[in-house]
Structure 1
Amino acid sequence: MAGFVYRENRVPHYQRLFQRHDGLRQWNKTPRSKILLYPYYLGLWTAVGGTMFMMGRMVLGHKTWFGKD
């Protein structure tokens, strides 16, 4: 447990990082941002696309993803 108690204080580092005026949004500033955000964006746009696709099919009277009812 000594590694947790006596580790480096990262607060000044993150204050400099997040208060820097570089034109980036806060959630895009860390190095891990791309790793975390790109799968989220992929899932978001897949869900939106699937919803729009099925909404169009429901308007046409089909209640399944593929094929005819």
Structure 2
Amino acid sequence: MSYSSNRFVYRENRVPHYQRLFQKHDGLRQWHKTPRSKFMLYPYYAVLWGGFAGSMYMMGRMVMGHKTWFSKG
């Protein structure tokens, strides 16, 4: 067996690091604490609010009798 197949077994134990990170009382929510959080959350927020804005726009158009996004008819 080569070393590359045993990398998972012999790696550093990161549990104490993550316990310190997530149990620190710094006023942040758990999903905002990691360095990668902004790369995952900001696209999620954009899709969430974009979908909400689009549904509100189309709801207004449906109330006015228009059944498509752009046409007048």
1:26 aligns to 2:33 (yes or no): no
State percent identity of aligned pairs: 74
Give the drift of 1:5. Answer: 0.4
CA distance in 2, matches of 1:35, 1:10: 21
Q: What's the offset of the Cα at 1:53?
A: 0.1
State the distance in 2 between where 1:61 and 1:2 align. 64
Measure the CA separation in 2 of the matches of 1:2 and 1:50: 49
1:45 aligns with 2:45: no
- Superposition deviation, residue 12 in structure 1: 0.3
Q: Who is 1:56 aligned against?
A: 60
TM-score by length of 2: 0.92
**TM-score normalised by L of structure 1:** 0.97
Counterpart of 1:22 in 2: which secondary structure?
Answer: coil
5+ residue gaps, structure 1:
none
Instruction: Give, in angstroms, the shift of residue 29 of structure 1.
Output: 0.1
What is the one-letter code of the residue matched to 1:43? V
C-alpha separation between the residues in 2 aligned to 1:62 and 1:36? 35
Cross-structure match for 2:8 = 4
* Shift, 1:67, TM fit: 1.7
Q: Which runs of 4+ in 1 moved over 2 A?
A: none
Larger Rg: 2
